[in-house]
Amino acid sequence: TQLLEQSPQFLSIQEGENLTVYCNSSSVFSSLQWYRQEPGEGPVLLVTVVTGGEVKKLKRLTFQFGDARKDSSLHITAAQPGDTGLYLCAGEKAGSNYKLTFGKGTLLTVNP
Amino acid sequence: NAGVMQNPRHLVRRRGQEARLRCSPMKGHSHVYWYRQLPEEGLKFMVYLQKENIIDESGMPKERFSAEFPKEGPSILRIQQVVRGDSAAYFCASSRTAGDTQYFGPGTRLTVL
């Protein structure tokens, strides 16, 4: 059983389109991180959200943490080929010794 | 300011050999976490160490796997008598303090023939 479910698993869109990817769980997390991973590299942190209902913006990327701190979404506006990559969400549960639980990721391809 | 460093980046071993993976945390970071990424799977936590101490090894297989983070030098993840199922990408992350942001290294891709 995957603790964090990400959807969709694969997404292929044209440059300029908008998209949203989701990260859902039945568990409550004290914080949730979004990472982007490129082939052959390690995950690179994009954002951390800690408060239920929190919205953070990073240029064309908007991250939202659900009110109950069980889910999150990442919205990209006017996607560009440079946005191509594997987007991972990872949650930290209270009392878990700070270990991160990862979803399987959404593989995004933005075609020129 | 160098990031987390891992070596080797690629490691090939035959079944039954030993694999040693090294992780040098970011400067000033004393907390190290090891994760494993199997094909088609998400990253899975293995072990959390602070200098000279194992804090949480709940994700480590019971046999053949061990980890250390000595007072001096890098953290080492050691896999004895490797099997084909150990083939994966192994990532380490470091943080300055407990609960602080974890920064990941580029990973070591282990292939067991």
Looking at beta carbons, which residues of chain A come within 8 Å of B104?
35, 42-45
Q: Are strands B65-68 and B53-56 parallel, antiparallel or unpaired?
A: unpaired
Strands (E), B14-104: 19-24, 31-37, 43-50, 53-56, 65-68, 75-79, 88-95, 103-104
What digits encode the pLDDT tens for the residues A20-62? 999 999 999 999 999 999 988 999 999 999 999 999 999 999 9
Paired with A58 in beta bridges are A61
**Token representation of residue A101:** 């639980």
CB contact under 8 A, A100 and B91: no
> Residue A95 has what pLDDT?
81
**Token representation of residue A2:** 């995957």
Looking at beta carbons, which residues of chain A come within 8 Å of B57?
none
What digits encode the pLDDT tens for the residues B19-72? 999 999 999 999 999 999 987 788 999 999 998 899 999 999 989 999 999 999
Answer positive or negative: Cα dihedral of A2, A100, B4, B73: negative
A contact test, residue of B45, B46, B90 with most A CBs within 10 A: B45
Looking at beta carbons, which residues of chain A come within 8 Å of B106?
40-42
What digits encode the pLDDT tens for the residues A76-87? 999 999 999 999
Contact between residue B89 and residue B108 where contact means Cβ atoms under 8 Å apart: yes
Statement: residue B108 has pLDDT above 70: yes
